């Protein structure tokens, strides 16, 4: 049984700061299909359309019938642990600092036999296990053997915590606490065990509201002035707390309706871009270097950057045309941020919700995503170590249609459906 994680002691300033070493990250193009599925929390293996063989490791053709008709299909991961071993020596720098490290050989019910990392609650062979795919700190998929029935503290396993971003005992920044969504995110982080949550608030003309008063009363919460349109304020805040933050959650956004011809001028579109795109850019430029410096700094080092985007970023929704465009720009910028953060072992998580049940979607018919459901999806993404999240029925439907045929989705949205 995994022992619950205890609050780490304060860092001794005399001791050296551990430098970030990443696990081996080289993968062939075919193997990236495993990573693409793991980025969304799925375990998939190649399946032959001709003979039905499930195979691992990934190959260009089926190892049984030599067919090239291979598809990545989700697997249950159920299998039998055949044997295990514990590494006490490694020439790899990443594993050398984390020894001992357990590995196991698992025969899946689906057919293949895999070498996997073993969760601490998995005992000796033989026994039933469940294999799952997770992203390691290099951003590549690795396979982990889990017990079929784990304890309540499975997430505290040392090996698993290396690959996920559980908020427990970590320090987070939420950029906008004046919205219902931001307040729900703060409550979810506190419930998940976050040590400190800094909550940004801007727009001094807007009434604080009972929600912000309620979360400010929580002992873990500290309110900080943060207006993402004010570069100097972002710089000052980064200088004040940047070296302490483990998780950045950027939920600040401006959301207005209408497209191009329904509103004169560019003021509204500029306001959306100034927060949704340039705000993210200012935040990343100031907090990014500090996060990189903390990425290996102990058990609670910097782990994640979360961007609240929109499913409209995948394909423009004309009734919210300029908002969609600003989120598409932010999506592209977030991909650049992910590439720059990966060498430091920091996970960038992009969240693509459908319409949220907030003030800007009052006239949008259901189904809409409740702020609490969105906040829980963000915490789950941090705990599961995924990169892309599509919470809610609308987001899942759009994603399926977009993957099937982006041009058809574009035409359907233009027609109002």
Please list the helix, strand and coil fractions of the chain in percent, rounded to the nearest 5, in that order.
35, 20, 45
Question: How do residues 202-226 score in pLDDT, each as one tens digit?
Answer: 866 556 556 888 898 999 999 999 9
**DSSP reduced 3-state for 102:** strand
Residue 60 tokens read as 């260009």
Average pLDDT estimate for 24-51: 93
In total, the chain counts a number of residues equal to 417
What total of structural domains would you count in the chain?
A: 2
Domain boundary among 129, 159, 189: 159
d(CA 284, CA 291): 10
* Together in a domain, 112 and 204: no
The answer to whether residues 265 and 345 belong to one domain is yes
User: DSSP string spanning 272-330?
Assistant: HHHHHTHHHHHHHHHHHHHHHHHTTSSTT---EEEEE--GGGTS--GGGHHHHHHHHHH
**Same domain assignment for residues 187 and 214:** yes
Indicate the Cα dihedral angle 140, 146, 149, 154, nearest 10°: -60
| Residue 402: inside a domain | yes
Closest CA to 163 of 196, 187, 182, 139: 139
Residues 56 and 100 in one domain: yes
Tell me, yes or no, whether 242 and 342 share the same domain. yes
Alpha helices in 347-386 (DSSP H): 371-384
Nearest to 330 by CA among 233, 250, 238, 256: 250
Q: How far apart are CA 372 and CA 20, in angstroms?
A: 34
**In whole angstroms, what is the distance from residue 399 CA to residue 351 CA?**
12
Cα distances (Å, whole numbers) of residue 114 to 29, 58, 121, 132, 142: 19, 12, 19, 11, 11
Task: Read off the pTM.
Answer: 0.92
DSSP designation for 258: -
The confidence band for 265, taking pLDDT boundaries of 50, 70 and 90, is confident
Q: Are 374 and 260 in a shared domain?
A: yes
- DSSP letter at 138 equals T
Kindly state whether residue 12 falls inside one of the protein's structural domains: no
Q: Looking at 153-230, list the stretches that DSSP marks H as alpha helix, in order from N- to C-terminal side.
A: 158-163, 180-191, 209-216
In terms of Cα–Cα distance, which of 131, 189, 218, 193 is closest to 4? 193
Q: Is the model's pLDDT at 184 over the cut of 80? A: yes
Which CATH number is 239's domain given? 3.40.50.720
Is residue 373 assigned to a domain?
A: yes
Q: How confident is the model at residue 98 (pLDDT cuts 50, 70, 90)?
A: confident
Q: Is residue 378 part of a domain?
A: yes
Q: Are 350 and 331 in contact (CB under 8 A)?
A: yes
Average of pLDDT values for 240-248?
91
| Cα–Cα distance, 51 to 54 (Å, whole number) | 9
Q: How far apart are CA 292 and CA 295, in angstroms?
A: 5
CA–CA distance, 392 with 371 (Å, rounded to integer)? 11
183 and 155 in a common domain? no
Strand partners, 201: 225
What's residue 183's pLDDT?
95
Q: 312-357 pLDDT, tens per residue?
A: 999 999 999 999 999 999 999 999 999 999 988 899 999 999 999 9
The 10 Å Cβ neighbour count of residue 68 is 11
Mean pLDDT on 185-206? 88
Output b/e per residue, 346-384; b: 16+ Cβ within 10 A: bbbbbbbbbbbbbebbeebeeebbbbbebbbbbbebbbb
Per the structure, the complete domain to which residue 127 belongs is given by: 32-159
Residue 3 — very low, low, confident or very high, per pLDDT cuts 50/70/90?
A: low
Residues 6+ apart with CB under 8 A from 240: 224
Side-chain-side CA neighbours of residue 380 (13 Å): 13
Asked whether residue 154 falls in the same domain as residue 251, the answer is no
Taking the C-alpha atoms of residue 414 and residue 373, their distance in angstroms, rounded to an integer, is 29
- Residues in CB range of 205: below 8 A, 6 or more apart: none
Tokens of 400: 């399926």
82, 187: one domain: no
Predicted confidence band of residue 11 (pLDDT cuts 50, 70, 90) = low
Same domain? For 189 and 141 the reply is: no
What separation, in Å, do the N-terminal and C-terminal C-alpha atoms of the chain show? 51
pLDDT tens digits for range 350-395: 999 999 998 778 778 889 999 999 999 999 999 998 999 999 999 9
Please name the residues in contact with 1: beta carbons below 8 A apart, sequence gap of 6 or more: 121, 151, 153
pLDDT for 302 = 62
Question: Look-up: residue for tokens 């081996």?
Answer: 24
Query: Which residues is 44 bridged to in the sheet?
Result: 74
**Quick check: is 359 in a domain?**
yes
- The answer to whether residues 86 and 131 belong to one domain is yes
Answer yes or no: is 7 within a domain. Answer: no
CA atoms within 13 A on the CB side of 364: 21
């Amino acid at each position: 049984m995994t022992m619950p994680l205890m609050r780490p002691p304060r860092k001794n300033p005399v001791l050296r700061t551990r430098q970030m070493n990443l696990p081996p990250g080289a993968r062939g193009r075919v193997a990236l299909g495993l990573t693409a599925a793991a980025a969304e929390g799925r375990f998939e293996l190649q399946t032959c359309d001709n003979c039905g063989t499930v195979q691992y490791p990934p190959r260009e053709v089926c190892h049984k019938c030599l067919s090239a008709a291979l598809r990545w299909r989700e697997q249950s991961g159920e299998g039998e642990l055949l044997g295990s071993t514990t590494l006490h020596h490694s020439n790899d720098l990443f594993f050398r600092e984390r020894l001992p490290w357990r590995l196991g050989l698992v025969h899946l019910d689906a057919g293949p036999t895999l070498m996997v990392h073993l969760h601490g609650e998995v005992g000796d062979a033989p026994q039933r296990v469940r294999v799952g795919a997770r992203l390691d700190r290099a951003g590549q998929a690795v396979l982990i053997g889990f017990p079929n029935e784990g304890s309540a503290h499975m997430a505290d396993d040392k090996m698993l915590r290396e690959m996920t971003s559980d908020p427990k005992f970590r320090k987070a920044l939420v950029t906008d606490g004046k919205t219902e969504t931001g307040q729900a995110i703060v409550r979810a982080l506190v419930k998940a065990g976050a040590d400190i949550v800094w909550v940004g608030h801007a727009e001094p003309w807007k009434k604080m509201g009972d929600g912000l008063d309620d979360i400010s009363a929580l002992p873990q919460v500290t309110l900080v002035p943060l207006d993402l349109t004010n570069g100097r304020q972002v710089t000052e805040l980064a200088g004040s707390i940047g070296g302490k933050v483990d998780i950045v959650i950027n939920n600040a956004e401006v959301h207005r309706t209408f497209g191009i011809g329904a509103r004169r001028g560019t003021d509204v579109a500029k306001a959306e871009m100034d927060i949704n795109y340039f705000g993210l850019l200012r935040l990343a430029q100031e907090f990014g270097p500090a996060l990189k410096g903390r990425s290996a700094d102990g058990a609670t080092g910097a782990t994640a950057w979360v961007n609240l985007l929109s499913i409209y970023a995948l394909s423009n929704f004309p009734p919210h045309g300029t908002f969609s465009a600003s989120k598409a720009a932010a999506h592209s910028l977030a991909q650049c941020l992910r590439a720059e953060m990966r060498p430091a072992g920091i996970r960038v998580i992009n969240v693509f919700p459908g319409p949220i049940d907030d003030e800007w979607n009052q006239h949008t018919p259901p189904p809409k995503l409740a702020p609490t459901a969105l906040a829980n999806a963000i915490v789950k993404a941090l705990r599961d170590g995924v990169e892309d999240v599509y919470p809610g029925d609308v987001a899942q439907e759009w994603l399926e249609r977009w993957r099937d045929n982006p041009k058809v989705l574009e035409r359907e949205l233009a027609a109002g459906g």
